[in-house]
Structure 1
Amino acid sequence: MRKNPERRQALVDAAIEVLAKEGARGLTFRAVDAAAEVPTGTASNYFSSRDDLLTQAGGRIYERLLPDDETMAQLDVGGQDRAHFARLMHELVDRIMAFNTGFLALLELRLESTRRPELREVVTKRIRADVDQNIANHAASGLPGDSTTVVTLMLALNWLIMERLTLPGLFSEQEAHELVDVLVERLIAR
């Protein structure tokens, strides 16, 4: 296995793009090499198997979806009310929509995990950690709502994002924005 971390990361990022555009069945070492614009055979020198590449892509998606330090600092700024909560949810949706191939690749990984128990274990563990981290961040922030509120918002916003990415004409950007506001309003007690 090769050790160049920048090239490895570029290959994993290329794998994410391939997953989003071609689906899990289109994820081959050759397709990743082409997407990364490297010589044929490069990806196979960095990853032991296609499953290894799928797993690495899943981890990298989350690295790229994580909020930056400035966004995390906003948890404590601006009042701990529904309006502030809604702003944070809009930031979340906007951040995910900006990395749309990551979200689509994650959907592909979820579908593929129904056929691959090892991948299912990795994806389940990573998403459970994400849920737990969101609940912990929310509890520490002092924002209104409880753990059920956080999970319900995650489920609803994930589906809204999926609709926007897979059926872009279904909800306009304005309708999606209003739906986020309504979700927060209805889930957060005054």
Structure 2
Amino acid sequence: MVRRNDQRRAALVDAAIEVLAREGARGMTFRAVDTEAGVPVGTASNYFASRDDLFTQAGARVYERLRPDEATVARHRTAARDRETYVELMRELVGRVSSFRTGYLALLELRLEATRRPALRKVLTERVRADVDANIAHHEESGLPGDAMAVKLLILALNWLIVEQLTLPDVFTEAERERLVTAAVERIVTAEDTP
């Protein structure tokens, strides 16, 4: 029975992500989530104590779904440790994040909503900071060129490239986006940083 409840909870959180991406935070009601999930009205309110709880769990679920699969992680572990590999890793990252369009748009909605909800802001701040720290730690363990500052600068640059791609996809062509990722790595991770 617990397994079914966990599956139902996950389906409701996934539905919340879809509603957030399509309707925004103001449109994410328990009723809208129930409708999106195809469950009886009142189901979401039985699983989540409040909208804040649902917002928080939706944010956590997006990060869960954005993680690379095991095959990708294994490939990264065996790749060369140079700027060319770094470029490929960043292209893969941009592609993976961009392919979960509704998840990333939901995260943007959650960030906007966090400006009005201190509890959500606290949770998102902790989650994003933990993600930055995990990226830095992974980078340091990987032996790739560059330092913590390079990782932070790439996070900032590539996040905005993803926002452009998802919200105004015609601003840059696919070829331009590829060149922008390459240029970001080459300009942020300098030749002195290369092993």
**TM-score interval w.r.t. the shorter chain?**
over 0.9
Determine the C-alpha separation between the residues in 2 that align with 1:77 and 1:95. Answer: 19
Aligned AA for 2:143?
A: G
* One-letter identity of the residue aligned with 2:138: N
Alpha-carbon separation, structure 2, partners of 1:97 and 1:65? 10
Q: So what's the TM-score if we normalise by structure 1?
A: 0.97
Equivalence for 2:77: 76
Which residue does the alignment assign to 1:152? 153
Matches within 5 A, 1:40-55: 40-55=41-56
Judge which range, 149-158 or 165-174, deviates more.
165-174
Matches within 5 A, 1:63-142: 63-142=64-143
Partner residue in 1 for 2:183: 182
The whole-number CA distance in structure 1 between the counterparts of 2:185 and 2:128 is: 22
Q: 1:6: which partner in 2?
A: 7
Q: CA deviation at 1:188?
A: 1.4
Identity value in percent? 63
Partner residue, 1:170: 171
Match of 2:60 in 1: 59
Equivalent position amino acid for 2:149 in 1: T
State how many pairs are aligned.
Answer: 189
SS, match of residue 40 in structure 1: coil
CA distances 1:18-42 after superposition (whole Å, capped 9, x unpaired): 0001000000001001111111111
Q: Provide structure 2 residue ranges, at least 5 long, that are not aligned to the other structure.
A: none
Aligned-residue offset at 1:76:
2.6
Q: Cα RMSD between the aligned structures?
A: 1.1
Unaligned ranges ≥5, structure 1: none
Amino acid at match of 1:53: L
Deviation at 1:87, TM superposition (A): 0.5
